[in-house]
Structure 1
Amino acid sequence: MEILMSQFFGALYGFLAIVLGAFGAHALKKRFTQEQLASFETGVKYQMYHALLLLVLSFNLGFNTALEGYIITCLILGTFLFSFSIYGLCLSGALGRKWKFLGPVTPLGGLLLATGWLLLAYIFIKDFMF
């Protein structure tokens, strides 16, 4: 199940990163400030990086342990919370009604992404530690 989730969300996030990146570069260029464009681009980049990571992991992890499932869950949720909260903040700010409730969501997503990476590092070194 984790393999399919990882592949599905990797492909979906990759597709959406392309679409949103093009949308941001063309349609939103005139509506966004330079700061909003830079933030939006950060969301797109992080989304694409983690889409690729999800795909790579889906072909390289055995998904024999719960820890591997936790990694995938952290990356899927973290990407969603991080990138999509940035998109929401940028879009709502450009429309003059910034959704401030999304402000704390971005670092929560970042924390989940960092946790996913840290758990992945643990998988690589655990056999040498014990």
Structure 2
Amino acid sequence: MMAVQYYEGVGRRKEATARVRVMSGSGRFVINEKPLEVYFPRLGDVDSILRPLAVTGYDRAGFDITVKVEGGGVTGQADAVRLGLARALAKMNPELVQMLRREGLLTRDPRVKERKKPGLKRARKAPTYTKR
């Protein structure tokens, strides 16, 4: 059996990591063995994830996309998948890099949870001040 040619991109956001593989196919989009719409039922997540395809003008039907995503929450995972998809498309066709970069799809979001500081309840939330 011949190995299937695929392009891989790794996306990260907050604590989430997504490994995205793009190969030619019939339009299947599978995340952790589940269809995209089942894994991300929240409104807007699917559109956000498919944005790299929309920007580059590729039709989803031309590709099979498989994703392994772990860690983080829903938003972090969705954004990690989007970055991984954009990177895989950029690897597949280097001419798309400029277009994806202009839309901000190849930039990793550096915001992560700030560490908790001593004497505070969270990173910045101070305990309630009481005069007496």
**Pairwise same-fold verdict (TM > 0.5):** no
Between structure 1 and structure 2, the one with the greater Rg is 2
Q: Which has the higher strand share?
A: 2
Per the normalisation by structure 1, the TM-score is 0.30
- The structure, 1 or 2, with the larger RCO (C-alpha pairs under 8 Å, 6+ apart) is 2
